[in-house]
Amino acid sequence: MTDQEVKELEGFIEDWFYDEQSHKFAQDLGKYLFSFIDHLHEQKLTNKTIDRHIDNCWAIGYLECGYGSTDLFSPGKIFCGPEADYEYEYKRKFSDSKYAVSSYKATWNKLYKYTKQLGLLEDE
């Protein structure tokens, strides 16, 4: 990664970690989410749609780092199904509007499909 990419990643994940081990997890998760965001750009989605997914990716990263139960990042374990994790926490921390929750779920589902497309699901 270039210095600029590292700076961008660190800015994205700065609220996700609290020590060295959680920092490494946040970095790995952040890199994966950045590759997913690049994938979204390749699909020629509108800027508004991509921005919504980026916001949801930040929320997913924050929630996974704060509420997840693993110390080692594995996309196939985290995004192992289309149903969004941490919906209750999302509603409490971010928004409980139907639109926001639906958007969060849609991003999670896209992350699941992306992970499956890459062949990274643990059960395959």
Element (H, E) at 58: helix 47-67
- The span from the CA of 61 to the CA of 38, in Å, is 16
What mean pLDDT comes out for the span 44-73? 96
pLDDT at 123: 65
Structural domains counted in the chain: 1
**Residue range 94-120: mean pLDDT, rounded:** 98
Q: How far is CA 29 from CA 43, 48, 58, 70, in A?
A: 21, 23, 10, 12
Is there a domain that residue 50 lies in? yes
Specify if 91 maps to a domain: yes
In a domain, 71, yes or no: yes
Residue 10 maps to a domain: no
> What residue numbers bound the domain in which 74 lies?
24-117
Residue 82 domain flag: yes
Tell me the two tokens of residue 93: 């921390």
* Mean pLDDT along residues 81-88: 97
Domain membership of residue 16 (yes or no) is no
Confidence at residue 122, expressed as pLDDT on a 0 to 100 scale: 74
Q: Is residue 122 part of a domain?
A: no
Domain-embedded: residue 106: yes
Specify the residue for token string 């929750």.
101
Residue 63 has pLDDT above 80, yes or no: yes
